[in-house]
Chain A
Amino acid sequence: MANSNLPRRIIKETQRLLSEPAPGISASPSEDNMRYFNVMILGPTQSPYEGGVFKLELFLPEEYPMAAPKVRFLTKIYHPNIDKLGRICLDILKDKWSPALQIRTVLLSIQALLSAPNPDDPLSENIAKHWKTNEAEAVETAKEWTRLYASGA
Protein backbone atom coordinates (compact mmCIF):
# COMPACT_ATOMS: atom_id res chain seq x y z
CA MET A 1 0.00 0.00 0.00
CA ALA A 2 1.32 3.37 -0.99
CA ASN A 3 1.09 4.95 2.41
CA SER A 4 2.85 2.30 4.42
CA ASN A 5 6.32 3.08 5.61
CA LEU A 6 6.01 6.75 4.87
CA PRO A 7 9.39 8.16 5.90
CA ARG A 8 9.45 10.50 8.85
CA ARG A 9 10.85 13.22 6.63
CA ILE A 10 7.78 13.19 4.35
CA ILE A 11 5.48 13.32 7.37
CA LYS A 12 7.38 16.31 8.73
CA GLU A 13 7.40 18.13 5.42
CA THR A 14 3.68 17.55 4.99
CA GLN A 15 2.99 18.85 8.47
CA ARG A 16 4.90 22.01 7.80
CA LEU A 17 3.38 22.56 4.34
CA LEU A 18 -0.07 22.39 5.87
CA SER A 19 0.61 24.37 9.01
CA GLU A 20 2.86 27.08 7.57
CA PRO A 21 2.17 27.28 3.84
CA ALA A 22 4.50 29.47 1.81
CA PRO A 23 2.80 32.65 0.58
CA GLY A 24 0.89 32.04 -2.62
CA ILE A 25 1.44 28.29 -2.51
CA SER A 26 -0.75 25.49 -1.23
CA ALA A 27 0.09 21.81 -1.30
CA SER A 28 -1.97 19.07 0.26
CA PRO A 29 -1.54 15.32 0.03
CA SER A 30 -4.13 13.21 -1.68
CA GLU A 31 -6.44 11.22 0.55
CA ASP A 32 -5.41 7.86 -0.79
CA ASN A 33 -1.76 8.45 -1.56
CA MET A 34 0.29 10.55 0.78
CA ARG A 35 3.05 10.81 -1.83
CA TYR A 36 0.77 12.57 -4.28
CA PHE A 37 0.14 16.28 -3.68
CA ASN A 38 -2.38 18.63 -5.20
CA VAL A 39 -0.62 21.94 -5.56
CA MET A 40 -1.83 25.44 -6.31
CA ILE A 41 0.45 28.35 -7.06
CA LEU A 42 -0.83 31.89 -7.38
CA GLY A 43 0.63 33.85 -10.26
CA PRO A 44 3.21 36.21 -8.75
CA THR A 45 2.40 39.92 -8.72
CA GLN A 46 3.99 41.96 -11.50
CA SER A 47 4.27 38.89 -13.67
CA PRO A 48 2.05 38.05 -16.66
CA TYR A 49 0.56 35.32 -14.49
CA GLU A 50 -0.74 37.71 -11.82
CA GLY A 51 -4.30 36.92 -10.83
CA GLY A 52 -4.04 33.33 -12.06
CA VAL A 53 -4.41 30.18 -9.99
CA PHE A 54 -2.22 27.42 -11.38
CA LYS A 55 -2.84 23.81 -10.52
CA LEU A 56 0.06 21.39 -10.43
CA GLU A 57 0.59 17.81 -9.40
CA LEU A 58 3.58 16.72 -7.36
CA PHE A 59 4.62 13.16 -6.72
CA LEU A 60 7.29 11.94 -4.35
CA PRO A 61 8.91 8.86 -5.89
CA GLU A 62 9.93 5.91 -3.76
CA GLU A 63 13.54 7.16 -3.75
CA TYR A 64 12.61 10.60 -2.39
CA PRO A 65 14.47 12.52 -1.01
CA MET A 66 17.37 10.94 -2.90
CA ALA A 67 15.46 11.60 -6.13
CA ALA A 68 13.63 14.81 -6.99
CA PRO A 69 9.86 15.14 -6.72
CA LYS A 70 8.05 14.87 -10.05
CA VAL A 71 6.11 18.04 -10.73
CA ARG A 72 3.88 19.05 -13.62
CA PHE A 73 1.55 21.93 -14.37
CA LEU A 74 -2.03 20.85 -14.87
CA THR A 75 -3.22 24.32 -15.80
CA LYS A 76 -2.32 25.46 -19.30
CA ILE A 77 0.34 28.16 -19.15
CA TYR A 78 2.23 30.27 -21.71
CA HIS A 79 5.79 30.17 -20.44
CA PRO A 80 9.08 29.48 -22.28
CA ASN A 81 10.26 26.92 -19.71
CA ILE A 82 7.01 24.97 -19.47
CA ASP A 83 5.76 22.84 -22.33
CA LYS A 84 2.28 21.94 -23.43
CA LEU A 85 2.29 18.81 -21.31
CA GLY A 86 3.02 20.95 -18.27
CA ARG A 87 6.58 19.67 -17.92
CA ILE A 88 8.94 22.14 -16.32
CA CYS A 89 12.54 22.77 -17.34
CA LEU A 90 14.10 23.54 -13.98
CA ASP A 91 17.57 22.42 -12.96
CA ILE A 92 16.69 21.49 -9.38
CA LEU A 93 14.13 19.01 -10.68
CA LYS A 94 16.90 17.28 -12.55
CA ASP A 95 20.67 17.27 -12.21
CA LYS A 96 20.77 19.99 -9.53
CA TRP A 97 18.42 18.10 -7.24
CA SER A 98 19.78 17.69 -3.74
CA PRO A 99 18.21 15.72 -0.89
CA ALA A 100 18.65 18.83 1.25
CA LEU A 101 16.01 20.56 -0.88
CA GLN A 102 12.36 20.10 -0.03
CA ILE A 103 8.89 20.18 -1.55
CA ARG A 104 8.64 23.75 -0.27
CA THR A 105 11.87 24.88 -1.95
CA VAL A 106 10.84 23.22 -5.21
CA LEU A 107 7.49 25.01 -5.23
CA LEU A 108 9.13 28.33 -4.35
CA SER A 109 11.53 27.85 -7.27
CA ILE A 110 8.62 27.18 -9.61
CA GLN A 111 6.92 30.32 -8.33
CA ALA A 112 10.16 32.23 -8.99
CA LEU A 113 10.30 30.78 -12.50
CA LEU A 114 6.90 32.35 -13.16
CA SER A 115 8.32 35.72 -12.12
CA ALA A 116 11.44 35.29 -14.22
CA PRO A 117 10.92 33.28 -17.41
CA ASN A 118 14.21 32.22 -18.96
CA PRO A 119 13.86 32.14 -22.77
CA ASP A 120 17.57 31.26 -23.11
CA ASP A 121 16.92 27.80 -21.76
CA PRO A 122 13.68 27.09 -23.55
CA LEU A 123 11.48 24.08 -23.34
CA SER A 124 8.78 25.47 -25.57
CA GLU A 125 10.77 26.58 -28.57
CA ASN A 126 8.00 28.62 -30.14
CA ILE A 127 7.17 30.44 -26.95
CA ALA A 128 10.84 31.15 -26.28
CA LYS A 129 11.26 32.55 -29.78
CA HIS A 130 8.20 34.70 -29.29
CA TRP A 131 9.62 35.93 -25.98
CA LYS A 132 12.95 36.84 -27.53
CA THR A 133 11.65 38.53 -30.65
CA ASN A 134 8.68 40.39 -29.19
CA GLU A 135 8.61 40.26 -25.43
CA ALA A 136 5.70 42.70 -25.04
CA GLU A 137 3.51 40.61 -27.29
CA ALA A 138 4.56 37.34 -25.62
CA VAL A 139 3.73 38.80 -22.22
CA GLU A 140 0.31 39.79 -23.58
CA THR A 141 -0.31 36.23 -24.73
CA ALA A 142 0.76 34.94 -21.32
CA LYS A 143 -1.71 37.32 -19.66
CA GLU A 144 -4.42 36.22 -22.05
CA TRP A 145 -3.78 32.54 -21.30
CA THR A 146 -3.83 33.33 -17.58
CA ARG A 147 -7.28 34.90 -18.01
CA LEU A 148 -8.50 32.04 -20.16
CA TYR A 149 -7.17 29.02 -18.31
CA ALA A 150 -6.10 30.09 -14.83
CA SER A 151 -8.91 32.30 -13.68
CA GLY A 152 -9.74 29.76 -10.99
CA ALA A 153 -13.38 29.68 -12.01
Chain B
Amino acid sequence: MASPSFSIFQHHLSDENYAEELQLQEVITSSLLSPPIKIPIHPSPTPHSSTSQVLCSICTDAKSHSQMFTNRVCTHTFCTDCISKHIAAKLEVTMAVKCPEPNCGTVLEPEMCGSFVPKRVLERWADALFEAMILKSKRLNCPFKDCGAAMIDEGDEEGVTAVECGSCWRLFCAECRVGWHGEMECGEFQRLRKEAGVSGDKDDAMTVKLAENKKWRRCPHCKIYVEKTVGCVHIVCRCGSEFCYSCGGKWGGAHACRGSAYERTVHRR
Protein backbone atom coordinates (compact mmCIF):
# COMPACT_ATOMS: atom_id res chain seq x y z
CA MET B 1 0.00 0.00 0.00
CA ALA B 2 1.33 3.37 -0.96
CA SER B 3 2.12 5.47 1.98
CA PRO B 4 -0.13 8.45 2.17
CA SER B 5 1.45 11.80 1.66
CA PHE B 6 -0.16 14.84 3.10
CA SER B 7 1.02 17.94 1.40
CA ILE B 8 -0.78 20.17 3.84
CA PHE B 9 1.73 19.27 6.44
CA GLN B 10 4.60 20.66 4.47
CA HIS B 11 3.49 24.25 4.67
CA HIS B 12 4.96 26.83 6.92
CA LEU B 13 2.59 27.03 9.78
CA SER B 14 2.41 28.44 13.21
CA ASP B 15 3.45 26.05 15.96
CA GLU B 16 -0.11 25.68 17.10
CA ASN B 17 -1.40 24.78 13.65
CA TYR B 18 1.54 22.51 13.08
CA ALA B 19 0.83 20.58 16.27
CA GLU B 20 -2.82 20.28 15.34
CA GLU B 21 -2.04 18.99 11.89
CA LEU B 22 0.48 16.49 13.20
CA GLN B 23 -2.26 15.14 15.40
CA LEU B 24 -4.58 14.87 12.44
CA GLN B 25 -1.93 13.17 10.37
CA GLU B 26 -1.45 10.60 13.12
CA VAL B 27 -5.18 9.91 13.35
CA ILE B 28 -5.69 9.69 9.60
CA THR B 29 -2.69 7.47 9.01
CA SER B 30 -3.78 5.04 11.67
CA SER B 31 -7.36 5.03 10.42
CA LEU B 32 -6.17 4.26 6.90
CA LEU B 33 -3.92 1.46 7.92
CA SER B 34 -6.10 -0.42 10.31
CA PRO B 35 -9.67 -0.80 11.49
CA PRO B 36 -10.82 1.91 13.84
CA ILE B 37 -8.69 2.14 16.93
CA LYS B 38 -9.53 4.57 19.61
CA ILE B 39 -6.82 7.18 19.42
CA PRO B 40 -6.83 9.55 22.30
CA ILE B 41 -6.96 13.00 20.90
CA HIS B 42 -5.93 15.68 23.25
CA PRO B 43 -8.41 18.41 22.94
CA SER B 44 -6.46 21.28 21.50
CA PRO B 45 -5.92 23.85 24.18
CA THR B 46 -8.49 26.56 23.88
CA PRO B 47 -6.35 29.20 22.31
CA HIS B 48 -6.02 32.47 24.11
CA SER B 49 -8.50 31.39 26.75
CA SER B 50 -6.91 33.79 29.18
CA THR B 51 -7.59 36.77 26.95
CA SER B 52 -11.18 37.55 26.09
CA GLN B 53 -11.44 35.72 22.80
CA VAL B 54 -14.27 33.64 21.46
CA LEU B 55 -14.42 30.81 18.97
CA CYS B 56 -16.46 31.37 15.84
CA SER B 57 -18.22 28.08 15.20
CA ILE B 58 -18.09 28.57 11.42
CA CYS B 59 -14.38 29.12 10.81
CA THR B 60 -13.40 27.70 14.23
CA ASP B 61 -10.91 30.52 14.68
CA ALA B 62 -10.47 32.45 17.88
CA LYS B 63 -11.65 36.01 17.50
CA SER B 64 -11.80 39.06 19.66
CA HIS B 65 -15.19 40.34 20.74
CA SER B 66 -14.92 43.25 18.35
CA GLN B 67 -14.59 40.78 15.46
CA MET B 68 -17.84 39.05 16.37
CA PHE B 69 -21.25 39.82 14.96
CA THR B 70 -24.34 39.86 17.12
CA ASN B 71 -27.73 41.01 15.99
CA ARG B 72 -30.41 42.45 18.15
CA VAL B 73 -33.00 39.80 17.35
CA CYS B 74 -31.39 36.46 18.17
CA THR B 75 -28.40 35.80 20.37
CA HIS B 76 -26.34 33.73 17.94
CA THR B 77 -22.87 35.07 17.30
CA PHE B 78 -20.42 34.38 14.53
CA CYS B 79 -17.43 36.34 13.37
CA THR B 80 -18.00 39.20 10.96
CA ASP B 81 -15.81 37.56 8.30
CA CYS B 82 -17.97 34.46 8.26
CA ILE B 83 -21.25 36.40 8.36
CA SER B 84 -20.06 38.53 5.47
CA LYS B 85 -19.17 35.45 3.39
CA HIS B 86 -22.44 33.78 4.40
CA ILE B 87 -24.44 36.77 3.18
CA ALA B 88 -22.58 36.90 -0.15
CA ALA B 89 -23.06 33.14 -0.65
CA LYS B 90 -26.76 33.14 0.25
CA LEU B 91 -27.50 36.08 -2.03
CA GLU B 92 -26.42 33.86 -4.92
CA VAL B 93 -29.31 31.52 -4.24
CA THR B 94 -31.96 33.37 -2.26
CA MET B 95 -33.33 36.80 -1.58
CA ALA B 96 -33.64 36.56 2.20
CA VAL B 97 -30.53 35.92 4.29
CA LYS B 98 -31.07 34.22 7.62
CA CYS B 99 -28.96 33.76 10.73
CA PRO B 100 -26.66 30.78 10.08
CA GLU B 101 -27.76 28.99 13.25
CA PRO B 102 -29.83 26.01 12.06
CA ASN B 103 -33.56 26.44 12.69
CA CYS B 104 -33.09 30.01 13.91
CA GLY B 105 -34.87 31.78 11.10
CA THR B 106 -33.94 35.33 12.10
CA VAL B 107 -33.76 37.34 8.90
CA LEU B 108 -30.63 39.45 8.69
CA GLU B 109 -30.99 43.04 7.55
CA PRO B 110 -28.44 45.18 5.73
CA GLU B 111 -28.62 47.76 8.52
CA MET B 112 -27.21 45.23 10.98
CA CYS B 113 -24.25 44.42 8.78
CA GLY B 114 -23.43 47.64 6.93
CA SER B 115 -20.21 48.16 8.86
CA PHE B 116 -18.45 45.02 7.70
CA VAL B 117 -20.13 43.77 4.51
CA PRO B 118 -18.39 44.92 1.29
CA LYS B 119 -20.19 47.63 -0.65
CA ARG B 120 -20.84 45.46 -3.71
CA VAL B 121 -22.49 42.79 -1.54
CA LEU B 122 -24.63 45.44 0.13
CA GLU B 123 -25.72 46.68 -3.30
CA ARG B 124 -26.60 43.18 -4.37
CA TRP B 125 -28.50 42.70 -1.16
CA ALA B 126 -30.51 45.87 -1.71
CA ASP B 127 -31.33 44.70 -5.26
CA ALA B 128 -32.45 41.31 -3.94
CA LEU B 129 -34.70 42.88 -1.32
CA PHE B 130 -36.23 45.17 -3.93
CA GLU B 131 -36.79 42.25 -6.25
CA ALA B 132 -38.35 40.18 -3.48
CA MET B 133 -40.72 43.04 -2.76
CA ILE B 134 -41.68 43.34 -6.41
CA LEU B 135 -42.16 39.59 -6.71
CA LYS B 136 -44.71 39.60 -3.97
CA SER B 137 -46.79 41.82 -6.13
CA LYS B 138 -47.02 41.37 -9.84
CA ARG B 139 -43.84 42.40 -11.52
CA LEU B 140 -43.80 44.18 -14.81
CA ASN B 141 -41.01 45.48 -17.00
CA CYS B 142 -41.43 48.21 -19.57
CA PRO B 143 -41.27 46.31 -22.89
CA PHE B 144 -39.40 49.08 -24.72
CA LYS B 145 -35.80 47.93 -25.26
CA ASP B 146 -34.25 51.29 -24.39
CA CYS B 147 -36.12 51.43 -21.08
CA GLY B 148 -36.97 48.11 -19.41
CA ALA B 149 -37.83 49.77 -16.09
CA ALA B 150 -39.23 47.44 -13.43
CA MET B 151 -42.56 48.36 -11.96
CA ILE B 152 -45.40 46.89 -10.00
CA ASP B 153 -48.58 45.91 -11.79
CA GLU B 154 -51.26 47.13 -9.50
CA GLY B 155 -53.91 45.63 -11.73
CA ASP B 156 -56.56 47.92 -10.24
CA GLU B 157 -59.17 47.70 -12.94
CA GLU B 158 -60.26 44.41 -14.36
CA GLY B 159 -59.56 44.12 -18.09
CA VAL B 160 -57.50 47.28 -18.37
CA THR B 161 -54.14 46.40 -19.84
CA ALA B 162 -52.87 49.79 -21.00
CA VAL B 163 -50.06 50.95 -18.75
CA GLU B 164 -47.95 54.05 -18.90
CA CYS B 165 -44.31 53.40 -18.01
CA GLY B 166 -43.32 55.44 -14.97
CA SER B 167 -39.85 55.91 -16.38
CA CYS B 168 -40.11 56.63 -20.11
CA TRP B 169 -43.81 57.58 -20.09
CA ARG B 170 -44.67 55.46 -23.11
CA LEU B 171 -47.87 53.47 -23.19
CA PHE B 172 -47.71 49.68 -23.38
CA CYS B 173 -49.90 46.62 -22.98
CA ALA B 174 -49.30 44.79 -19.69
CA GLU B 175 -50.86 41.60 -21.08
CA CYS B 176 -49.03 41.32 -24.41
CA ARG B 177 -45.85 42.99 -23.15
CA VAL B 178 -45.51 45.20 -26.21
CA GLY B 179 -45.99 48.85 -27.05
CA TRP B 180 -49.68 49.74 -26.83
CA HIS B 181 -51.70 48.08 -29.62
CA GLY B 182 -54.47 50.64 -29.66
CA GLU B 183 -58.05 49.59 -29.48
CA MET B 184 -57.35 46.06 -30.71
CA GLU B 185 -58.22 43.38 -28.15
CA CYS B 186 -55.26 41.46 -26.70
CA GLY B 187 -56.54 38.12 -28.04
CA GLU B 188 -56.90 39.53 -31.53
CA PHE B 189 -53.49 41.18 -31.37
CA GLN B 190 -51.79 37.96 -30.25
CA ARG B 191 -53.55 35.96 -32.97
CA LEU B 192 -52.43 38.38 -35.68
CA ARG B 193 -48.96 38.39 -34.29
CA LYS B 194 -48.79 34.62 -34.40
CA GLU B 195 -50.10 34.55 -37.94
CA ALA B 196 -47.45 37.03 -38.96
CA GLY B 197 -44.85 34.73 -37.41
CA VAL B 198 -43.60 37.37 -35.01
CA SER B 199 -42.52 35.86 -31.76
CA GLY B 200 -41.02 38.42 -29.47
CA ASP B 201 -37.78 40.09 -30.37
CA LYS B 202 -34.57 38.53 -31.60
CA ASP B 203 -32.73 38.65 -28.28
CA ASP B 204 -35.56 36.88 -26.51
CA ALA B 205 -35.62 34.22 -29.18
CA MET B 206 -31.88 33.72 -28.79
CA THR B 207 -32.19 33.38 -25.04
CA VAL B 208 -34.94 30.82 -25.46
CA LYS B 209 -32.84 28.91 -27.97
CA LEU B 210 -29.81 28.97 -25.69
CA ALA B 211 -31.95 27.85 -22.76
CA GLU B 212 -33.25 24.95 -24.83
CA ASN B 213 -29.77 23.89 -25.84
CA LYS B 214 -28.43 24.13 -22.34
CA LYS B 215 -31.55 22.44 -20.92
CA TRP B 216 -32.15 25.35 -18.56
CA ARG B 217 -35.46 25.60 -16.78
CA ARG B 218 -37.50 28.67 -16.02
CA CYS B 219 -38.89 29.22 -12.56
CA PRO B 220 -42.68 29.12 -12.98
CA HIS B 221 -43.00 31.97 -10.49
CA CYS B 222 -40.28 34.58 -11.07
CA LYS B 223 -39.38 33.33 -14.60
CA ILE B 224 -35.65 33.45 -14.06
CA TYR B 225 -33.62 30.84 -15.94
CA VAL B 226 -32.09 28.20 -13.71
CA GLU B 227 -29.26 25.91 -14.63
CA LYS B 228 -28.89 22.81 -12.49
CA THR B 229 -25.29 21.81 -12.05
CA VAL B 230 -25.55 19.09 -9.43
CA GLY B 231 -28.12 17.60 -7.11
CA CYS B 232 -31.65 16.38 -7.46
CA VAL B 233 -34.42 17.79 -9.62
CA HIS B 234 -36.35 19.44 -6.79
CA ILE B 235 -35.32 23.07 -7.24
CA VAL B 236 -35.89 25.77 -4.67
CA CYS B 237 -35.59 29.00 -6.61
CA ARG B 238 -34.03 32.15 -5.22
CA CYS B 239 -37.54 33.61 -5.04
CA GLY B 240 -38.52 30.79 -2.70
CA SER B 241 -40.85 28.94 -5.03
CA GLU B 242 -40.21 25.28 -5.75
CA PHE B 243 -40.26 23.53 -9.08
CA CYS B 244 -39.19 20.36 -10.82
CA TYR B 245 -36.15 20.61 -13.07
CA SER B 246 -37.27 17.54 -14.91
CA CYS B 247 -40.62 18.81 -16.20
CA GLY B 248 -40.43 22.49 -15.28
CA GLY B 249 -43.70 22.29 -13.36
CA LYS B 250 -44.43 23.54 -9.87
CA TRP B 251 -43.34 21.25 -7.07
CA GLY B 252 -46.02 20.05 -4.72
CA GLY B 253 -46.98 17.12 -2.58
CA ALA B 254 -48.67 15.50 -5.52
CA HIS B 255 -45.95 16.30 -8.02
CA ALA B 256 -46.06 13.46 -10.49
CA CYS B 257 -43.61 14.04 -13.23
CA ARG B 258 -43.20 11.26 -15.70
CA GLY B 259 -41.76 13.20 -18.59
CA SER B 260 -38.25 12.99 -17.30
CA ALA B 261 -36.46 13.75 -20.53
CA TYR B 262 -33.78 15.33 -18.41
CA GLU B 263 -33.22 12.13 -16.45
CA ARG B 264 -32.95 10.14 -19.65
CA THR B 265 -30.33 12.52 -20.97
CA VAL B 266 -28.32 12.11 -17.80
CA HIS B 267 -28.50 8.33 -18.06
CA ARG B 268 -27.38 8.27 -21.64
CA ARG B 269 -24.13 10.00 -20.78
Picked from A87, A99, A125, the residue with its CB within 8 Å of the CB of B258 is: A125
Picked from B101, B231, B256, the residue with its CB within 8 Å of the CB of A125 is: B256
Q: Which residue of A lies closest to B29 (CB)?
A: A31
B253 touches A3 (CB 8 A): no
CB neighbours (8 Å) of A63 from chain B are 89
Q: Does B234 count as interface, using CB distance less than 8 angstroms?
A: yes
Interface secondary structure of A, over-half rule: loop
CB neighbours (8 Å) of A26 from chain B are 36
Picked from B60, B85, B234, B236, the residue with its CB within 8 Å of the CB of A8 is: B60
Cα(A14)–Cα(B32), bound, Å: 13
B231 touches A94 (CB 8 A): yes
CB neighbours (8 Å) of A89 from chain B are 232, 234
Q: Does B20 count as interface, using CB distance less than 8 angstroms?
A: yes
Interface residue ranges of B13-60 to A (CB < 8 Å): 17, 20-21, 23-24, 27-28, 31-32, 36, 39, 41, 57-60
Cα(A66)–Cα(B138), bound, Å: 32
Cα(A100)–Cα(B233), bound, Å: 25
Cα(A70)–Cα(B230), bound, Å: 8
Picked from A1, A31, A65, A123, the residue with its CB within 8 Å of the CB of B4 is: A31
Cα(A72)–Cα(B210), bound, Å: 29
Cα(A122)–Cα(B4), bound, Å: 41
With A8-B61, A9-B60, A19-B41 as given contacts, are A95 and B236 in contact (CB-CB < 8 Å)? yes
Cα(A123)–Cα(B256), bound, Å: 10
A90 to chain B, nearest CB (A): 9
Q: Does A121 count as interface, using CB distance less than 8 angstroms?
A: yes
Cα(A137)–Cα(B260), bound, Å: 25
Cα(A71)–Cα(B35), bound, Å: 24
A-B contact pairs, 13 of them (CB 8 A): A3-B6, A3-B8, A4-B11, A6-B8, A18-B27, A31-B4, A31-B5, A66-B86, A83-B263, A89-B232, A98-B102, A99-B100, A125-B260
